[in-house]
Each structure stands twice: as C-alpha cells, then as structure tokens.
Amino acid sequence: MIKKAVITSAGLGTRLLPYTKEIPKEMLPIFCKTPRGVFLKPALQLIFEQLYSIGIREFCFIIGRGKRVIEDYFTPDNSFINYLRRKNKNRVAEELEEFYSQIENSTLVWINQPEPRGFGDAVRLSEPFVGKNDFLLAAGDNYIVSPENGFLKKIVHTHISMENHATLSVFRVDDPRSFGVVIGEQFDSDIVRVRKTVEKPQTPISNLALISLHVFHPIIFKALKSIEPGYAGEYQLTDAVQKLVEWNYRVYALEMKKNVFRLDIGTPQSYWRAVEYSYSLSGCDED
C-alpha cells in the first residue's frame, strides 16, 4: 500500500498573473459537491482530500517563496469554526471540521523550494521525506476526476501489482508540444510499456501526454541526481524518467480514458474549463 504523497505547489503561476502575484494558483477554487451541498474549494484541498480518501496519511508539500498562505490554510482554525456556528453557517462549519479532522489525522511536511528550478528539482527535494518508500506524486494544479476515484486507485494498484519502478499517468492530446510525452508499446487495453519520454517536443513524436500524477519507487531520486538542466534550463522530471528507461527499470503508463477528466488550473483557458466542468458536475444547473 502507498502511504506517502508528494504534492508540488512551488510554481510561480506566471500565466495567471496578476492574480497569482499574492495568491498561489493551487488555491484557485473549483466547485465540489459533497453530502452537505455544493462548495467552492481550493484545488489543493480537493487533491489532498482525494489522496486521503485512498489511505494516504503522510503528505509532503513542496512550496515556493511567498506561498505561506497554503500552510496557513492547512492549519486548523477552531476560532473560525466557532464564528461560523454563531452565524448559523453550520454546513460550511461541518465541511471545514471534516477537512481539519483529516489534517489532524495526517502528517504534513512542508519543504521550501528556494528558487524555481523545475518540476524535477521540486520532486528531488522530497527525498528525505520519502526515504525508502514508494510514493505518489501529484501536482497541486491538476485534479483528476473519475467515478469513486477509480483512476487514482487503479494507478496505485497497477504500480504495486506489476512491481513497477515508475507508473505514469497519460492522456491523448491533439497537440503534444506543451506536454511531456511518452513513446511505448501497448501492454494492455490502457497500459503502455514506456520506451522513451521527451519534454515538450517541438516536432510531434507521440500524442500520449504526461499528467502530473505518478507513482514512483525511490530509485527516481538517483535518476533526478543524474540529470542536467533540460527544457527551459530547468530540471525536468521527464528527463529523470527517461534515465529509468535507459537503466532498464520497469516504467509503465496508465492511460486516462472514458469517464476520467483532468481539471487543469494552470492557464486562464484551462482554469475556465475546470470551473465550468466542476460546476456541471456539482448539479448547480439543476437548482
């Protein structure tokens, strides 16, 4: 069973300026329907709650300068709960109480990335937290929606049952130039054996794009230490995964298919689609 998760939240969010000058993009709200009603929750909270629901209890957040608001948000605030109770806002109070209960039942570790040196560098910083354990890696600006969290459960099951060293998430796109991509051979209906990974190829070589939701053996840290700055002069996780392929480790990818959706809050256009889709899922149109 996977018990540890690393969540990266250190990016500058430059494509969402000026909003993200003071507020991290991972704290942008999307709609969420719970038994208590429909709420707006930060994307990062939804990711945390989703991982908690499958048994993760140890979390490492990689944050950057100026993102203290995230740590504050993940600190239980009982005085605010009491305020909500006095104002008869009981549904919101109960929703926050459940979130705070999950926090209190978990171990949260905060690691600062002093300067933006790439996704791979952010992951590398989590090595002391991960230790010798396999772990789940999620980006704080991508939320994967599937019935009963089926995709999340399946990627963990696939990783464990196949004894992989890396189990990646991928989906098919029309234009792969803004994504890391994988080249491989079909192993099963939705599983690909990875033969090559490339970060943002300007000449399309594959339409299987990487999503920032993966499960890794700790050997990934050896690979991260072996790479040089790559695309955009940053340390790319894609390059480290390519090292695992070259070293003949077991690297497979699970493809997102029907009924699995990626809510991306990284750009104004993708954030609008995430809000629109989460709104439709919430049932607000039926009110």
d(CA 154, CA 254): 8
Residue 125 DSSP one-character state: T
pLDDT digits (tens, 9 = 90+) for 32-85: 988 998 999 999 999 999 999 999 999 999 998 767 889 999 999 999 999 999
For residue 206, what pLDDT is reported? 87
* Secondary structure (3-state) at 98: helix
What's the mean pLDDT in 244-260? 93
- How far apart are the two ends of the chain, measured CA to CA in Å? 40
**39 pairs with which residues across the strands?**
32
pLDDT digits (tens, 9 = 90+) for 120-174: 999 999 999 999 999 999 999 899 999 899 999 999 999 999 999 999 999 988 8
Closest CA to 2 of 217, 151, 210: 217
Query: The tokens of 93 are what?
Result: 């109070």
pLDDT digits (tens, 9 = 90+) for 173-223: 888 888 889 999 988 889 999 999 998 888 878 889 998 899 999 999 999
With beta carbons less than 8 A apart as the criterion, state whether 12 and 116 touch: yes
* All domains in the chain, ordered by first residue: 4-145+260-286 (3.90.550.10)
d(CA 60, CA 107): 8
